[in-house]
Structure 1
Amino acid sequence: MRVEGRESKIAQRLLAHYDVHARRLPWRAPPGSNATDPYRVWLSEVMLQQTTVAAVGPYFAAFTARWPTVEALAATQDADLMAAWAGLGYYARARNLLACARAVANGHGGRFPDTEEGLRALPGVGAYTAAAVAAIAFGRRAVVVDANVERVVARLFAIATPLPAARPAIRAAADSITPDARAGDFAQAMMDLGATICTSRNPACGICPLRQDCDAVWTADPAAYPVKAAKKVRPHRMGDAWWIERSDGHVWLVRRPDKGLLGGMRALPSGAWSDDPDPTPPFAARWTTLAEPVAHVFTHFSLALRVHATHVGIGHVGLDDSPPGDGEWWPIAALDDAGLPTLFAKAAQMAMKEGIGDARH
């Protein structure tokens, strides 16, 4: 769709601004040139979903140093990938990342499809990621709408319908201003605009290159767009985790089921998370409970995780010297290398700080 009139001026002004003010990011090509490595574009887009640029930077550098190609990533072990992802959150992204890498390496000769349709056929690649990679890596005209773009477009056109019902109108409006040429630069320019000028709170309208084109500027409160539906109350759950420390300086870690929250990650043994969980420990021992639970917030609920600890000597837990379940003794001195997700990393830090694993039978 070729843009005209006001819409074409929006694209022209924004691209001119981007040519001068584009953020320099390790996965981004300079303005006016398509990215040369679709792998880096794809990897960055997956990492950036619901995560800030500042948080992603070190992870992106570590991933591309360890796995410089999609074939290298595809060949890694699941546990190694999950450990490297620890701390980024939304761990389903990591599982999808590996599935997609293997599909590209094994089914496409290590080459990413260069169209939205082809990209959408890959596991874990949704509409946004397919559009972003098609536009940024391959120069295809694609309508790229992330949270930043959604906010910019809702303000440009003063779309008053509350989210999420407004999304079809926002996408149609974004389509109307996406140019045929430099679609990748345009998408990144819109992202930059939302991240640095057209921010959620206190947008810097005075320095915005699209100020004269923006309908929301003429309202009493541009920051009121996009209009958001009333938030639902986030439910609260409780749970229990067990710190099992062996006398030789190891702690018992388990691998969580592949499906579900924190799937495939190493973790402390943990019971169900519910309104009234069963605090029965995995085996009979003298357990010490941390004074305060570990507080953590997931997307759909908040959690208070009670931490219980015990110290066991060699040969004190079962015939094979291991607690029940599928797990491994991990050296506490190298616990950072286990790749614990944030929730369990916090629990481990609190247990070690309190010294509750030093309680003897």
Structure 2
Amino acid sequence: MRQYPRMTEANRPALLEIASAFLRLGLTSFGGPIAHLGYFRSELIQRRRWISDDSYAEILALSQFLPGPASSQVAFALGWQRGGFAGALLATLAFTLPSALTMILLAALAGSTPPETGLAGGLVAGLKITAVAIVAHAVLGMARSLAPTGARAGIALAALAMIALLPAEAIVQVAAILLGAGLGFVFRVAPPLREMATPPLRALSRKGGAYCLATFTVLLIGLPLLATIGWPVELADIFYRAGALVFGGGHVVLPLLQNGTQGLVSDASFLAGYGAAQAMPGPLFTFAGWLGQVTGGLPGAVIALVAIFLPGFLLMAGAMPFWAALSRISNARHAMAGANAAVVGILGHALYEPVFTSGIRGDADLALAVALFLMLGLWGRPAWQVVIAGALGGMALSGLV
């Protein structure tokens, strides 16, 4: 595999271009992972022509195949294509920091004890109601794309039933994903592979990729064993596991984080932060900054953010050298299609518990949630506008209830 040289005066302009392009995207990319991927294509593929459309499609396919934050992994890979490891690091930081810093600041101001009365309490209630509408819209959209056939819809329902009937533990969610992968393998549920004549992605050597995959595995196994050392390792374990085991990115991380932070973050704070995250540009995974700040202050926020993004980046860097061969293995594609269908069921359960049960207090709240859902699904309004409408609606309802 072709590798980029270390940073020199000759490649410094490319790195500056990467930093400026992704900082602008990090400040303006509202709307969630799917919208982010559209922004990337428009700005970096069509306008700047960093890589071809077919190579971009390969990166998108790899991001869907791997667990982790899809749009952040694509940003990482695009930075790598343009400027090697330094470019990947710059793209990641520039795309992530604007929303991450904002979420940490908001959590420091009001995350631990969100107000429950008055206009401020109405604002928090509005953010919770907004979360109901946004997660419902996400479940519908993911069902259409990840469970469009009878077989994959059946896998989604099986995963939902498993989560609903068994104790609310993170291991049950992992088991549901594994069940989905197994059913996908058995029933051959993946769509036909689209052949593309594309050059290999620029990446680490296969040896370097193997080191990244080994590091990912060691941390996934080792952090739970070391979690008793102290709260920093315990916190790192919670967020690393969430980033390592979430397929589909974005909203799918919600149930994993909710289970992992039970007893550390109140439901009110969790949903208020999740609602606030919808108004942020950039990756939704920066919600980890809010949770880490509430749990352990600024050090906790830094640990949570690094831990939740690290596994996805290790997997992306490790898989890129092998992707051309891996993507054409039939069994792997069927298993992944089944796992992706299972996450639809997991998120469907999270829509009910804790999002709906904690966010909807009565008929007025339900009416506002339906209106916000229609703003997203029927009228196509961006998420940040829906968040503003939900916040204003919650404040208005605070004067009526």
Output the TM-score relative to the length of structure 1. 0.21
Q: Which has the higher contact order (CA 8 A, sep 6+)?
A: 2
**Larger strand share, 1 or 2:** 1
Structure (1 or 2) with the larger CA radius of gyration: 1
Output the TM-score relative to the length of structure 2. 0.19
